[in-house]
């Protein structure tokens, strides 16, 4: 009985936690050969966006942006989520900290 009750509360907890996740549009970014695909993404002003970063390389990469205030390791052959926004109009560069020579991109907020 208690077990079921715990499950029930967990379900409610997850539902609460997940509400904003469902609301945000998802944009996929792939990492291949230490490059971002696409390396330019456009998002609307004042909108929260969920970036799903898929690392196809077998080496780890760190998605980083000082302008967006974001930093996250994406392990090789794995994926991770980074939420950005709501943002004002402008260009927000991001880069792969582990391979910064090639892994460069930007978020354009319009």
**DSSP 3-state assignment of 32?**
strand
| Member of 6, 15, 21, 108 binding other proteins (CB under 8 A) | 21
Which of 2/10 has CB closer to other proteins?
Answer: 10
| Member of 35, 39, 79, 104 binding other proteins (CB under 8 A) | 79
Q: Please say whether the dihedral angle defined by the alpha carbons of residues 101, 25, 17 and 66, taken in this order, is positive or negative.
A: positive
**DSSP 3-state assignment of 44?**
coil
**DSSP 3-state assignment of 19?**
helix
Q: Which residues bind other proteins (CB under 8 A)?
A: 17-18, 20-21, 24, 48, 50, 52, 58-62, 66-67, 69-86, 88, 97-98, 100-101
């Amino acid at each position: 009985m208690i077990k079921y009750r715990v499950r029930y509360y967990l379900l409610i907890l997850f539902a609460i936690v997940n509400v904003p996740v469902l609301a945000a549009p998802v944009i996929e970014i792939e990492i291949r050969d230490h490059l971002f695909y696409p390396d330019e993404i456009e998002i609307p002003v004042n909108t929260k966006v969920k970036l799903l970063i898929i690392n196809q390389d077998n080496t780890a990469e760190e998605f980083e942006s000082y302008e967006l205030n974001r930093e996250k390791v994406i392990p090789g052959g794995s994926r991770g989520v980074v939420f950005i926004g709501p943002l004002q109009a402008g260009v927000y560069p991001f880069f792969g900290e582990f391979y910064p020579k090639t892994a460069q991109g930007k978020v354009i907020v319009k």
